[in-house]
Amino acid sequence: MVYTCPMLGFGYGGGGYLGIILGTVVWVLIIGGIVWGVFYLVNNSNNKRNNSSSMKALEVIKERYAKGEINKQEFEKMKKELR
């Protein structure tokens, strides 16, 4: 004969099924937070790279405009395309 106490969740410990559900929720939150953090870091580094290359291109067209290689209309068009 197996003794089960209703106060202890019929042999599943103090929390019973509630403990299993809460444990699962905690692990889902932990794993989800790690995945979100990785995506955030990857996306943030890509944005920095894109911004730096865009700034370099803007500097190049500024130099070309200053040297007179392109006119104001071409400069404005290129600047608009970069942003």
pLDDT in tens, 21-55: 888 899 999 999 999 999 888 887 766 665 666 67
* Burial annotation 17-56 (CB, 10 A radius, 16+ → b, else e): eeeeeeeeeeeeeeeeeeeeeeeeeeeeeeeeeeeeeeee
Given this model, what pLDDT does residue 15 score? 59
pTM over 0.85, yes/no: no
Measured CA distances, 47 to 40, 43, 58 (Å): 11, 6, 16
Given this model, what pLDDT does residue 5 score? 53
**Per-residue tokens: 34:** 């790690």
Who wins on pLDDT, 76 or 14? 76
